[in-house]
Amino acid sequence: MSKIRIYELAKELEVTNKELISVLMEEFGVEAKNHMSVIDEEDADLIKELYEEQKKEAAEKKEIIEEYESKINEDISKQQRKNSKMRKGGNKRNEEKVDETPDEVIEMEETIVVKDLADKLKKPVVEVIRALIFQGVMASVNQEIDFNTAEKLVDSFGSIAVLKEQNVGDIAKEQEDEIDEIEDEASEAKETKRPPIVTVMGHVDHGKTSLLDAIKKSKVTATEAGGITQHIGAYTVDVNGERITFLDTPGHEAFTSMRARGAQVTDIVILVVAADDGIMPQTVEAINHCKAAEVPMIIAINKMDKESANPDRVKQELTEYGLVSEDWGGDTICVPVSAHTKEGLDNLLEMITINAEMLELKADANRRAKGTVIEAKLDKGRGPVASILVQNGTLKSGDSIIVGTTYGRIRAMIDDKGKTTKAAGPSMPVEILGLSEVPAAGDRFTVVRDEKTARIMAESRKEKIRQDHFQTSNRVSMENLYNQIQEGKVKELSVIVKADVQGSAEAVKQSIEKLSTDNVKVRVIHGAVGAITETDVSLAYASNAIIIGFNVRPDNNAITVAERDNVEIKTYRIIYDALDDIKSAMIGMLEPEYKEVITGRCEARQVYKISNVGTIAGCYVLNGKITRNCKVRVLRDGIVITESTLASLKRFKDDVKEAAAGYECGLSIEKFNDIKEGDIIEGYIMEEIKPKQL
């Protein structure tokens, strides 16, 4: 990560080095020694954001004050006009205002009577009372106000309030001391060793999941075993007193972006290659990602228990990508393992710790935390839930954080063993509750001073994104995309991605954006988890986007509105199909052979489990009809749980060909017994359509 020196940043922000050093401490708990100290560019960016916000706030305040002052001046001149005899005095008053000396020090006790304060300020009492009202304090002439209120008021008049027992010199001294203290602490502050964060990559079916599971099972003590079923996107294991954090990334290898995202937080990659299969396309992809991110790799040659295992072939193939195994004179560590027999696992873990040692991974546990979101979802009972990885500092329950464009105060933290915890140090994964919205996987988080700061920053980030979208949207649709490109009307295809889990949304988003060519930019303007809703459709309508659903479906309202507004919704179960379609649309070759026609939807109202038969659902047909030969998909909260065919369709005891809207029916689904009350069963048929003429 690139760094920046304090004095450079101070210069850019037009503040003193000392001020910046104390702000750094206050905002992030980051201890900087002097103007030559370096800080992460990411922290610098956040500080800049903060200053921008403060400037904006100050400008707004100034505007209000100016308005208020001009009103007062108006009142004064009215008064002058009313009573010409008083003209002289009025003028004098006005002159006093102009002469106002800022930075005047007003000494006072813990409390002060409004009238006395006005005297000290050399302001008319009315003006002081008005200013107090403006501050939200109703006070009469003889009322006492406390120091805090008075301080704010004095400040708004451009002067400084100090408590009587202190004098200005003391205050300056106090500030000096504070900075000295920071500097002292800084010299003491030491970054300490942190556990490595490891991501497992490799071709599909080479055993990534099995390997992660095997490590989890072999290294987690019995007492923790209950909790570790808890999936929070990452887990830590203890290897002879050294901790290792594994990212439990979703296993879909098409998600190259997941890897890229993984690499951002990853210190070491375990590249799994099946000993019987060798290097495959996604292995190569993983190698390239690691190289680009300069993340060291350890090769786990898996499935060594298989007879057909040929580790030498794997090593041979690796050389083609510049990876020469250590035993062949190179510096690539290759560890033969078997996720099934657990052979070589200890060796692999040892290699990780040795590698980590060499990387000298360090973090400062005392600063305020920052890190990355690994996964996030909306939980019905608990609200937005995010699994995050602390990368520096210590995250504490009650901390206020900004995460991407959302924010919150941490209500609860749950560790990877399912236990509630109060603090999470460097490299620790935790699940957090208390965010205002669901963040996106890969979003960075930072702890800030208070919730208000977090909220303001989140809002201003959102506003920025909104403006960016607004400026660049162009109306397009998938069907006419090619023509529009040819006519030069379109330079951009905007897409909204909705998916069943955050990881997929993020991955689909990035894969889609990679389809951009020199002629057409493909841009995902919104990517989120959940069913396609009316809101998505209106966003698509407003920004001329198409909607892509990945393992999710539109709800009824969305369908109606989309039809009305001619918004295109495409749903897919396989990422490649989505990518292919978009690619074809871009080159004008979109030729769907089949079109899906939804026949109707019904809702499961009662579920019966019958031995030897399976699950029968008593349903009510909401719209259209359900036919015996239709295909069905089961939707739970708009998410596709399964796709199958009907195994039976009955009305009362009789088999029927179809059940129409408004009627009840009983049905069972081929190879699916997990129907729950409230599930929606959508019936559809695939209608053949003629290929389009080019």
Token pair recorded at residue 537: 């459709």
305 binds ligand GDP (CB under 6 A): yes
Q: How far is the CB of 261 from ligand GDP (least distance, A)?
A: 17
Options 261, 289, 303, 444; binder of ligand GDP; rule CB under 6 A: 303
Residue type, 148: N
Total residues in contact with ligand GDP, by rule CB under 6 A: 16
CB atoms under 10 Å from CB of 589, counted, come to 12
x/- map, 3-42, ligand GDP, by CB under 6 A: ----------------------------------------
Q: How far is the CB of 208 from ligand GDP (least distance, A)?
A: 4
Q: How far is the CB of 503 from ligand GDP (least distance, A)?
A: 14
Question: Cα separation of 605 and 616, whole Å?
Answer: 11
Q: Compare residues 314 and 386 and give the one whose CB is closer to ligand GDP.
A: 314
130 binds ligand GDP (CB under 6 A): no
339 binds ligand GDP (CB under 6 A): yes
DSSP class of 542: H
Options 18, 123, 194, 208; binder of ligand GDP; rule CB under 6 A: 208
Question: Cα separation of 483 and 10, whole Å?
Answer: 52
Residues 6+ apart with CB under 8 A from 307: none
Coil vs helix vs strand at 193: strand
Would the annotation count 304 as a binding residue?
Answer: yes
Q: How far is residue 428 CA from its own chain's centroid?
A: 17
342 binds ligand GDP (CB under 6 A): no
Q: How far is the CB of 322 from ligand GDP (least distance, A)?
A: 23
Q: How far is the CB of 255 from ligand GDP (least distance, A)?
A: 12
Q: What residue has token string 């007193």?
A: 241
Would the annotation count 205 as a binding residue?
Answer: yes
Question: Cα separation of 682 and 634, whole Å?
Answer: 6
Options 45, 183, 205, 451; binder of ligand GDP; rule CB under 6 A: 205
Q: How far is the CB of 521 from ligand GDP (least distance, A)?
A: 33
Options 90, 207, 393, 439; binder of ligand GDP; rule CB under 6 A: 207
Options 126, 204, 574, 660; binder of ligand GDP; rule CB under 6 A: 204
Q: Which pairing describes strands 395-396 and 423-424: parallel, antiparallel, or unpaired?
A: antiparallel
206 binds ligand GDP (CB under 6 A): yes
Options 17, 245, 266, 302; binder of ligand GDP; rule CB under 6 A: 302
Helix (H) or strand (E) holding 163: strand 160-163
261 binds ligand GDP (CB under 6 A): no
Residue type, 124: P
Burial class (CB in 10 A: 0-12, 13-18, 19+), 388: buried
Using the rule CB under 6 A, give the single segment among 118-126, 204-212, 357-365, 672-680 that binds ligand GDP.
204-212
Burial class (CB in 10 A: 0-12, 13-18, 19+), 7: middle
Q: Is the dihedral of CA 199, 202, 205, 210 positive or negative?
A: negative
Burial class (CB in 10 A: 0-12, 13-18, 19+), 458: buried
Q: End-to-end alpha-carbon separation of the chain, Å?
A: 50
> By CB under 6 A, what part of segment 224-253 binds ligand GDP?
251
Rounded to the nearest 10 degrees, the angle between the axes of helix 17-28 and helix 168-188 is 70
209 binds ligand GDP (CB under 6 A): yes
Interacting residue ranges for ligand GDP, rule: CB under 6 A? 202, 204-210, 251, 302-303, 305-306, 338-340
Annotated binding-site members for GTP: 202-209, 248-252, 302-305
Annotated binding-site members: 202-209, 248-252, 302-305
